[in-house]
């Protein structure tokens, strides 16, 4: 965001260098970090469930969880521990933290 102009009542307007839209608020540090993470492409690979998540014949949930973390985007709210999953263009509250 770059400062663009101030209108006749003194409101400062900023222009996004990427999409060229105007707004009256600068992006927060958190928003910039989120957009940076979201802009990175995710590498997708075919899942082979049979052997991939087992060790010595036992299912290892951690292996599946690591696959999900590589494949999908999640965020956890610090204040509530709510987990949000990126789906249909925005984060949705599908998860929860467990001990």
- Residue 15: the pLDDT is 84
Q: What secondary structure, in 3-state letters, does the chain show?
A: CEEEEECCCCCEEEECCCCCCEECCCCCHHHHHHHHHHHCCCCCCCCCHHHHCEECCEECHHHHHHHHHHHCCEEECCCCCEEEEEECCEEEEEEECCC
Is a pLDDT exceeding 70 seen at residue 41? no
Question: pLDDT for 4-38, tens place per residue?
Answer: 888 888 888 888 787 788 777 766 777 777 777 77
Question: pLDDT for 46-98, tens place per residue?
Answer: 555 657 888 888 888 898 888 888 888 888 888 888 888 887 788 888 655 56
Question: Where are the domains positioned within the chain?
Answer: 1-40, 42-99
């Amino acid at each position: 965001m770059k400062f663009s102009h101030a209108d006749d009542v003194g409101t400062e307007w900023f222009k996004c260098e990427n999409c060229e839209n105007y707004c009256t608020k600068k992006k927060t540090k958190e928003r910039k970090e989120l957009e940076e993470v979201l802009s990175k492409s995710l590498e997708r690979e075919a899942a082979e469930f049979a052997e991939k998540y087992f060790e010595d014949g036992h299912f290892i949930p951690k292996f599946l969880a690591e696959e999900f973390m590589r494949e999908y985007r999640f965020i956890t709210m610090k204040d509530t521990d709510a987990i949000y999953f990126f789906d249909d263009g925005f984060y949705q509250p599908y998860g929860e933290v467990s001990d």
